[in-house]
Amino acid sequence: MSLTVALVQQAFIDDYTTTLARTEQHIRAAASQGAELICLQELHAGPYFCQHQSDALFDMAEALDGPTATALGALAEELKVVIVGSIFERRAKGLYHNTALVFDRSAVLAGFYRKMHIPDDPGFYEKYYFTPGDAEQPGFAPIHTSVGKLGVLVCWDQWYPEAARLMALADADLLIYPTAIGWEPAEEEAEKQRQRDAWMLVQRGHAVANNLPVVAINRIGHETDPSGASDGIDFWGNSFVCGPQGELLLHAEHQQEALLMTEIDLARCEQVRRIWPYLRDRRVDAYADINKRYRD
């Protein structure tokens, strides 16, 4: 089964309305070129607001059926495509999530995923804003669509082999990582390179370890820190797609806004698993300690 996938790598432009309109242009272009699955970056319609802490920013959050979901759902239904989007979700009073949305050729939400691993680092103060997703709601479970079972994970989740493995064990057909990651402008170039390479390497490793394609979509552009405590973040782009042996199928430029498209052969996953049978040889009887924080 061959799947035509499109990635929209872009920067935040001025405001929500302008940025979402630009995203819509890319979605329409992707659909016109035959894309079946269109993937957007983390929190794609707004700025990356987690560089500082402000309770006023909770007003940006929206419901699962809010304006971003309504816009993406309408496009999915009109263009008959599958769209993976992202919102700052207001689940209830005082309860907020970083949530990926999936629409399957319909305005009706096919499924959603609430980010499970929440960072708390200088410039990435996400624990202030986001509650981790619940294991049962919906946890590490693929979202069933007409193009396959999508193992959607979000940004910081991409560093954890456990998340990728659980999606694979739940029969995901591919892993999708909407992302907002960058470096401090003042970092040394060698350190920037190490960070970027590690980011790509760990995700390609998940592809190899689970014999699944990986789709990683990152934002680009410089975004200032409104608090003035730092020099802001340069988001490093480099969106990519790799196959089930980690082979690069597509790799974007560092700071290039782009609509990127490629073909993924989902049938290769079965073929690769026959020669690299990790699922067969896993020692599930010996992994009990994986549930511990640390083995003292």
Whether omega for the bond prior to residue 138 falls within 30 degrees of 0, making it cis, is yes
The answer to whether position 58 is within a domain reads: yes
Count of domains in the chain? Answer: 1
Catalytic residue among 36, 42, 126, 223: 42
Whole-model pTM above 0.85?
yes
**Does the annotation mark 126 as catalytic?**
no
pLDDT at 136: 81
The answer to whether position 17 is within a domain reads: yes
Higher pLDDT, 236 or 137: 236
The answer to whether position 296 is within a domain reads: no
Which tens digit of pLDDT belongs to each residue from 174-209? 999 999 999 999 999 999 999 999 999 999 999 999
The answer to whether position 148 is within a domain reads: yes
In Å, how far are 71, 87, 122, 228 from 147, measured between CA atoms? Answer: 21, 22, 38, 44
Q: What percentage of the chain reaches a pLDDT higher than 90?
A: 95
Which tens digit of pLDDT belongs to each residue from 82-92? 999 999 999 99
Q: Which two tokens stand for residue 267?
A: 């049938």
**Does the annotation mark 257 as catalytic?**
no
Domain that residue 173 falls in: 2-291
Catalytic residue among 50, 89, 115, 223: 115
Rg of the Cα atoms in the chain: 18
**Does the annotation mark 136 as catalytic?**
no
CATH number of 179's domain:
3.60.110.10
Residue 278 pLDDT level (bands cut at 50, 70, 90): very high
The answer to whether position 42 is within a domain reads: yes
